[in-house]
Amino acid sequence: MIFSKRLFSGLFWLACAIQAQEVPWHLGSPTVTQIPAASALNTYGIAPGPTTIVVAVIDSGVLADHPSLAGALLPGYDMLSEPKNLRGGRSANFSPDLREATCGKRVMSSAFRTHGTEVASLIAGNGIDGVMGVNTNAKILPVRLFGACGMKRSDMLDAIAWSAGLPVAGVPTNPTPARVINLSLAGGATSCGAELQELIHQLSARKIFVIAAAGNNFHKPLPEPANCEGVISVGAVDAENRIEIYSALDKRTYLYAPGGGKKLASAEPWGVNQLKIASYAVDFFGNEKPVAEYRGIGTSFAAPVAAGFISLWLSRHPDKGPADFAKENFSFLRPVHPIDACLDCEPKGLFAGKNGAFK
């Protein structure tokens, strides 16, 4: 009896230890014996620098009680105004709308509820259950902008400004301004609106990075906000460094990062080709439970991988800004497989280099 108890206990701790060693494939190989994915960032093992970087996640809201985000969240804000806000207007409650919330005739998948949580986990996940952000020392500033009724363009401008610490009428000043702003948002006009462009220039001058998903429009050109000048637009590549079929395709795309997609033939761990994210699932009784799973697919998830990477770099070089990144990006970018559908594209993927080239 005692023996079986000990055996059980031993197996339990062994399982925990194995789980603790699990490293998401997109960060690189945890051991020298494992083959890293061709598109892996190779940031695993790079310790964050002494400066804590705040990364704003402007998204559908964040569910704050997920164990993989424990210790990573700052107090955020709900920047969605009426009539899009089902809670009546802006407030400090940055949690998402309910899973089955509806808005008139508009019908939306419940996936929107967990989107912001999943995005945040790729930036600053604490490693619990194997959900490890690119920069485990980063702090997430959750800013809700998207709900069951969608979002407003004017709210997006306010959310970006507030995240950066700029004054926004009717909202308390953000006490923890972000150095990196992640926008896993897409749509808008085919060219960057003047107000949005001006705001992004203003932020660049303040050394604030704006990262935007290229969009899942199946090889169409970049939408807003990714098409704005000064934005780091992020397309998606698979684990073998090929541009994903769903990703926007445009020569203006700044860089590509692992975004997940089709399962690959490789028997290596990265053959799963989906990103490990913190999310929630609904159990038999209809209750939401936190989960950690390989389910991330889309440029929505490639963007936070890039945001996490830049925050990791900034944690070591807090005085640098987007202009410095542009000057030094030859150190961080490497070619991805060219694509026939865009012959004048020169797609580049994020990479921390080998043997500590990321300094």
Q: What is the contact surface with other proteins in residues (CB under 8 A)?
A: 59-60, 99-100, 102, 104-112, 115, 146, 150-151, 153, 156, 184-189, 193, 213-218, 223-224, 245-246, 261-263, 273-274, 295, 297-300, 303
Min dist. Cβ of residue 16 to other proteins (A) = 28
Among residues 6 and 262, whose Cβ is nearest to other proteins? 262
Among residues 150 and 177, whose Cβ is nearest to other proteins? 150
119-132 in b/e burial notation, b at 16+ Cβ within 10 A? Answer: bbbbbbbbebbbbb
Q: Could you tell me the two tokens for 307?
A: 């945001």
Q: Is 87 exposed, middle or buried (0-12, 13-18, 19+ CB in 10 A)?
A: middle
Among residues 246 and 309, whose Cβ is nearest to other proteins? 246
Min dist. Cβ of residue 227 to other proteins (A) = 12
Question: 163, 173 in Cβ contact below 8 A?
Answer: no
Q: Could you tell me the two tokens for 283?
A: 């159990």
Min dist. Cβ of residue 312 to other proteins (A) = 22
Min dist. Cβ of residue 107 to other proteins (A) = 4
Min dist. Cβ of residue 109 to other proteins (A) = 5
Min dist. Cβ of residue 138 to other proteins (A) = 20
Q: Could you tell me the two tokens for 213?
A: 């998903």
Among the listed residues 354, 293, 312, 271, the one whose alpha carbon sits nearest the alpha carbon of residue 133: 312
Q: Could you tell me the two tokens for 186?
A: 């897409």
Q: How far apart are CA 29 and CA 23, in angstroms?
A: 7
Give the count of alpha carbons within 13 A of 147, CB side only.
Answer: 29
Among residues 133 and 147, whose Cβ is nearest to other proteins? 147
Among residues 9 and 102, whose Cβ is nearest to other proteins? 102
Q: How far apart are CA 341 and CA 350, in angstroms?
A: 21
Q: How far apart are CA 308 and CA 318, in angstroms?
A: 14
* Cβ neighbours for 181, distance < 8 A, ≥ 6 positions apart: 55, 56, 58, 160, 163, 164, 203, 208, 209, 210, 211, 307
Min dist. Cβ of residue 268 to other proteins (A) = 16
Bridge partner residues of 275 (DSSP): 296
The C-alpha R_g of the chain, in whole angstroms, comes to 20
Which residues does the annotation mark as catalytic?
59, 115, 300
Among residues 298 and 308, whose Cβ is nearest to other proteins? 298
Q: Is 80 exposed, middle or buried (0-12, 13-18, 19+ CB in 10 A)?
A: buried
Among residues 51 and 217, whose Cβ is nearest to other proteins? 217
Q: Could you tell me the two tokens for 188?
A: 């808008």
Q: How far apart are CA 271 and CA 21, in angstroms?
A: 18
